[in-house]
Structure 1
């Protein structure tokens, strides 16, 4: 049997996960990346100075390689080194073509699955090459193109206006009056650094975000348990999630109970940070935490800098740059600055896709959001409708991204192998896309990529599609109340292989019903013996 060739675009987290799964499934892979080394946003080319994770140890790792060097809020160098170890362990490194920019992906007939894809690239030396591949995996993710806003009067500014990814050293900040645009995680990182080294630091952002500490629910529960099955159940059910009828009944009848739980979390956060982050009530986020546009953890250093007024926050936007150093905010305030750092995130772009392909991918997109960027029409957020042999990995952005991407890759590989049963009609696939899009917009007012709390239910949809068990431990207590760690997915390849070969998985799960039966049996013994 001839091995099918696959071009994977991007050697970041999702690209490496895709490479590992596809290689194990017998595909001939080539990974292209425009940078000098792997890692995506965790590579030296992309990471900003002082970049670090906001998770606890061992949540940002893959199921088949435990990170023995993991630590809470790890610096980007640790993550980069882990990804290098992963690429070496699974023989991916020799399949990566670095400093190779994708110019075009196209084919003569997009709907003809027998025709190869044409991939045109540009090398570091400026040479152009053309390749043919059976399959395409786009794994550039959501963080490939920095978004840097334009400001009225910016030509008047004598200093620099740069994106946060261009900050590579603390020396760039020393003795400068700095404005950090943005209020999310990267802005917090940079403001903390600027407060240590710059002469002044202002954070300017248009809306506040919920801040999550290391412990929640009045300090009794570690934030890790936010990544448990039971915790995900307090939110509105995700469309088409594999829940029981009883689960949906509880959410319909007792929705106020689940709302009460999240309100309690929000009240705890407000009380915890009332003396510093929320001392001025205008910085308390508006709306329910259930519908939070973004949430993040903060460091003790950031809180200390706020308390000491070394970071001055402004709930506003830049209205105009008046002269060489003067910035006017839409609040009417004026700030002096030598450097403006845009911690404004990224924009979703796919410039290498042909114009014809792009038009098909966005043909049914509703423009109901105010965000910029492309919201692709992808069934299960992976494959386009009617265009075979191409998949997108790493576009949804739930809180538990690495595990999510890994399960996506297994689903994608099964799809390429012809094992996934798709809906009978394109109409059904479009309905799935639009239902998800409208649900995410209703919950978070964002494009359909931003899943936020919804990491488990979409993963379980993938598992159900593959015919695999949703239960990833051997008993209901650890299944529902334990932290959902990557090692739960370590047997996915073997499970998929066994299913394809018609073998039955030998798996014992001690369910809640078993517990009830055991209790009744012991009660019977106690009464009669």
Structure 2
């Protein structure tokens, strides 16, 4: 009997895990809150480019298309690459988009032996996982009973890292607008440009996202 595997997240990791499960004869089902696959790339600013060269950032069994010019694809090109990968290996029928996982529970023996027994060849415990999923398209909730659950959510999925401020010395007393980079990234290009046009913008953080936003603000304001 096929092992039923629930995968939470349809980003790069979720797509890889789905393909691997299929290759082993399992029956995977992928849940993702967003309306499309891609994970963080789906919610990345369109002006962002890959910071690694394509020979260091690719699926080993699915090369970048020959039509790609340059070694640092844009956000749109990365998304096209991920969609092509999902279509090439027929992953989309196993992916449920706009599906929010509301809860996960385990029913069975609770011991370290449970994990060592699960090896996909029939020697598994009698335990099962119940995954409660809210379908945002139909506003209905369904419980899926599976043999195993794999989380592919990324390190900081939808959890902004915002510092704690003393009372009376935080954003509530700031006369301007304070937002997190995640909120900025959800804007389309024209909306983001209008948001920063003619404004003095302070970017807190010197990582890739901070640099991308600083460059975009500079470009918009000349």
Residues 202-241 of structure 1 mapped to structure 2, 5 A cutoff? none
Cα root mean square deviation, aligned: 1.7
Aligned to 2:150: 137
Structure 1 residues 11-43: Cα deviation after superposition (integer angstroms, max 9, x where no partner): 001000001111111110100000000000111
Aligned to 1:177: 200
Say whether residues 1:81 and 2:80 are aligned partners.
yes
Are the structure 2 counterparts of residues 188 and 165 from structure 1 closer, same or farther at C-alpha, using a change threshold of 3 Å? same
What's the CA shift for 1:115?
1.4
Instruction: Please give the secondary structure, in 2, of the residue aligned with 1:38.
Output: coil
Q: TM-score with structure 1 length normalisation?
A: 0.36
Gaps of 5+ in 1: 200-529
With a CA cutoff of 8 Å and minimum separation of 6, indicate the structure with the bigger relative contact order: 2
Aligned to 1:63: 60
Normalized per residue, the structure richer in helix is 1
Aligned partner of 2:133 among 92, 114, 121: 121
Structure 1 residues 47-68: Cα deviation after superposition (integer angstroms, max 9, x where no partner): 1342221111232110111102
Aligned partner of 2:214 among 191, 214, 225: 191
CA–CA separation in structure 2 for the residues paired with 1:39 and 1:192? 24
Are the structure 2 counterparts of residues 95 and 11 from structure 1 closer, same or farther at C-alpha, using a change threshold of 3 Å? same
What's the CA shift for 1:122?
1.3
What's the CA shift for 1:72?
2.5
Kept in 2, the 8 Å contact 1:9–1:138? The answer is: yes
Q: Which runs of 4+ in 1 moved over 3 A?
A: 109-112
Structure 1 residues 160-208: Cα deviation after superposition (integer angstroms, max 9, x where no partner): 2212122232222211110101011111111111112248xxxxxxxxx
CA–CA separation in structure 2 for the residues paired with 1:49 and 1:88? 22
Are the structure 2 counterparts of residues 3 and 70 from structure 1 closer, same or farther at C-alpha, using a change threshold of 3 Å? farther
Kept in 2, the 8 Å contact 1:7–1:30? The answer is: yes
Say whether residues 1:47 and 2:44 are aligned partners.
yes
CA–CA separation in structure 2 for the residues paired with 1:74 and 1:171? 25
Q: TM-score with structure 2 length normalisation?
A: 0.82
Q: How many residues align?
A: 196
CA–CA separation in structure 2 for the residues paired with 1:117 and 1:70? 45
Structure number with larger C-alpha Rg:
1
Are the structure 2 counterparts of residues 71 and 3 from structure 1 closer, same or farther at C-alpha, using a change threshold of 3 Å? farther
Instruction: Please give the secondary structure, in 1, of the residue aligned with 2:202.
Output: strand
Kept in 2, the 8 Å contact 1:178–1:198? The answer is: no
Instruction: Please give the secondary structure, in 2, of the residue aligned with 1:178.
Output: coil
CA–CA separation in structure 1 for the residues paired with 2:46 and 2:180? 12
Instruction: Please give the secondary structure, in 2, of the residue aligned with 1:161.
Output: coil
Kept in 1, the 8 Å contact 2:46–2:74? The answer is: no
CA–CA separation in structure 2 for the residues paired with 1:159 and 1:50? 25
Gaps of 5+ in 2: 115-124
Instruction: Please give the secondary structure, in 2, of the residue aligned with 1:54.
Output: coil
Aligned partner of 1:148 among 159, 162, 172: 162
CA–CA separation in structure 2 for the residues paired with 1:97 and 1:136? 15
